[in-house]
Structure 1
Amino acid sequence: MNGWSRCLKLMPLILLTLAGSRLWAQGPPYQTDDPVPVDLHHYEFYIFGGVDGTPAEIDSTGPAFEFNWGAVPRVQLHAILPWGGVFPSNNPVYLPGGTGPSAFGLTDMELGVKLAIIKETKHVPQIGTFTMFEMPTGSYDKGLGVGKVWYKLPVWLQKNYGKWLFDGGGGYQVVPQANYRDFPYAGWLVKRELNERWELGAELFAHGREGFAAAQTERSAMIDVGGYFHFKHNPNEQFLFCYGHSIAGQTENYAYAGMYWTWGGSDDKSKDDDKKDSARNNWMRGPMRGAAFE
């Protein structure tokens, strides 16, 4: 039995060993994303750092700043402005990958659009896309950027069962640059709300070979475990964390830690209600995030 077959057989075990209300949608700190856009007129902001490394190279991210905006119904606009570092091992075992000087600075900026396509029902998961465009803002000569625009083209699914949330899907990453490769990736996530303060989850995430210019010179499959801590004084402020290690393929480590804030809707709603009363119209707002659509 090869490593990839073992990964598939391990997934039911993950679901059983993680031991209602509707949950927030997914994404950070996990590598598996979700199909649920930010609510209309709502906002999300993250400050985070992380690392993803193999024996060939370690790549760090941080400080990084993420902003998400529910611009129109069923559509989220997304941006990340990241700083980071590259630390090649310069070990001849991994030639021609993992070579060059270490560097730190601005890396490639990410812009994206999340689109909800199919609404979640009792028996049907929500389905959506989260297309991302990686802009060449990092220095290609220093290894901090790819030097060309590259793309992530995924489809994600989500289903809620009481305090449990399940996400899954995958996509294809297109990198039109020398020494990089186009490759597929996929993830499966299960998460549970333990109480008002804690949510914990685990995922199986796998990707193909990313090329000799990347840290992930070979394919890998990982199990990541992480969660959320909701602050008592402000339920819209959270601490996010995750750590993962490969179980098949190239040795790889993944880690994420960050702070998260969300706002919008309530203040706007009171203002809009005043306008509605004075104008005697029937203007309607979207439901809170976690329901299938805005």
Structure 2
Amino acid sequence: MGQQRTTPSNRLKMKALAFILALAVLAPATAWAGPPFITDDPETVEYQHGEFYIASQYANNKDSKEGTAPHFEFNYGIIPDVQLHLLVPLAFVHPNGGPTMYGFGDTEVGVKYRFLHETDSVPQVGTFPIVHLPTGDSDRAVGGHVPVFLPIWLQKSRGPWTTYGGGGYWINPGEGNKNFWQLSWLGQREITKSLTLGAEIFYFGKDTDDGRDRTGYNIGWIFNLSEDHHILFSAGSDIAGNNRFSAYLGYQYTFGPREAEKK
């Protein structure tokens, strides 16, 4: 594949697009409470339990089409109320009028910590700091960033309804980049034991000097094939911003000792 000739300004814009996509990929709760949504929740994976995802994300933006094909995500409950997180993407960017660039994207690592459990009157609360390690090819606009996300997430449930959200601050170093805020909230309802529906609204501040704020939404579902196998989907777009359409489709495998679940 021939490499596109770019000016420093164009390369910076493509990096910004790739970064916005990386945010979108982490969309529903770590079901995109992470997967399939952008909004996350404070609930950690149970101790000695794990989640594995293989998924793809797609974004049709004003100046490009981009996504992951695929990305892999792993979460593990290392101790009670603490979860380790790893996401490894194969990313692509197709600028309008240019060639498609495909390669290894930036690796995402994080630790989720729930420090307040839910009661009848108090929501559960946690934090989930995330770092993107620069393993991607910045010359192909599929990585090269080192942003850090410092959020707080809250969740409250009542019967079949669950609502969660919050936000945090992105430290986004680099020439032409700006630090910015991310805010989002989601509501979901368990329709049956196999099907949960959800909808979210989100906001991202301007992440580059010549960028713009984003406000958008996603609607999605989680379908339980069995106790361990799940299919996740969401789709949406910006209400104000450069994204015309985005979607997430993933498979989740959950595992852990059955005896521990019964105690």
Q: 2:32 & 2:181 partners in 1: Cα distance?
A: 23
Per the normalisation by structure 1, the TM-score is 0.75
TM-aligned CA deviation for residue 252 of structure 1: 3.9
Q: Is the 8 A contact 1:104 1:144 kept in 2?
A: yes
Q: Shift of residue 102 of structure 1? A: 3.2
Q: CA deviation at 1:212?
A: 6.7
Question: What is the Cα deviation at residue 287 of structure 1?
Answer: 7.7
CA distance in 2, matches of 1:159, 1:179: 39
> Which of 38, 43, 54 pairs up with 2:50?
43
Are 1:73 and 1:286, in contact at CA under 8 Å, matched by a contact in 2?
no
Matched AA of 2:227: P
CA contact (8 A) 2:153 2:165 kept: yes
The amino acid across from 1:184 in the alignment is W
Equivalent residues in 2 for 1:210-249 (5 A)? 210-211=207-208, 217-231=211-225, 234-249=226-241
Q: Tell me the matched-pair count.
A: 233
Which residue pairs with 1:151 in the alignment?
Answer: 148
Name the structure 2 match of 1:180: 177
Q: CA RMSD in A?
A: 2.0
Q: Which runs of 5+ in 1 are unaligned?
A: 1-23, 91-99, 270-284, 289-294
Given that residues 174 and 183 in structure 1 are in contact (C-alpha distance below 8 angstroms), is that contact kept between their aligned partners in structure 2?
A: yes
Structure with greater strand percent:
2
Identity rate, percent: 38
Counterpart code for 1:172: Y
Task: Please tell me the residue identity of whatever aligns with 1:124.
Answer: V
Q: Paired residue for 1:60, among 63, 67, 84?
A: 67
Q: Which amino acid aligns with 2:137?
A: S
Map 1:85-234; keep pairs closer than 5 Å.
Answer: 85-89=92-96, 101-145=99-143, 147-211=144-208, 217-231=211-225, 234=226
1:101 CA drift (Å): 4.9
Higher gyration radius (CA): 1
The Cα shift of 1:179 comes to: 2.8
Q: Which consecutive segments of 4 or more residues in structure 1 shift more than 6 A?
A: none
Tell me the TM-score normalised to structure 2 length: 0.83
